[in-house]
C-alpha cells in the first residue's frame, strides 16, 4: 500500500511520476523522491533523489541498475521509489 505522500506526489505529477514498480521495463528514469519506511535503506543502496535508474525486469522481484550496479528489489521497496522519465 502506498503512503499518502506517494499518492500526493503521483497526483501532482500525474502525467510523469510513477513508482518504480509501475514503471516500464527497459526505460531510464530519474528518482524523484523516496517515500515510506525504507527511505534510509534505499538511500544506502544508491536510490537518492535525482539518480538515474534503468529498470531491466518486472515481476515479484525487479532488476534495475543504479550507480552502475544491478540490484534486485522486491515490489514493496519498488513501491517506495517515485520516478519520472529521465
pLDDT (tens, 9 = 90+) of the chain, 86 residues, equals: 556 666 665 555 556 889 999 999 999 999 999 999 999 999 999 999 999 999 999 988 999 999 999 999 999 999 999 999 98
- Global pTM? 0.82
Number of domains in the chain: 1
The domain of 81 spans: 4-85
C-alpha cell at 21: 514498480
The CATH number of residue 54's host domain is 2.30.30.90
Write the Ramachandran bin of 67: left for phi over 0, alpha for psi from -120 to 50, otherwise beta: left
Grid coordinates in use for 72?
534486485
- Our separate counts of H helices and E strands in the chain read 3, 6
Amino acid at each position: 500500500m502506498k503512503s499518502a505522500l506517494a499518492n500526493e506526489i503521483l497526483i501532482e505529477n500525474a502525467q510523469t511520476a510513477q513508482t518504480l514498480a509501475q514503471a516500464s521495463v527497459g526505460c531510464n528514469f530519474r528518482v524523484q523522491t523516496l517515500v515510506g519506511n525504507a527511505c534510509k535503506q534505499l538511500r544506502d543502496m544508491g536510490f537518492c533523489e535525482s539518480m538515474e535508474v534503468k529498470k531491466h525486469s518486472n515481476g515479484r522481484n525487479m532488476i534495475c541498475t543504479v550507480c552502475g550496479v544491478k540490484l534486485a528489489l522486491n515490489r514493496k521497496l519498488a513501491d517506495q521509489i517515485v520516478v519520472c522519465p529521465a
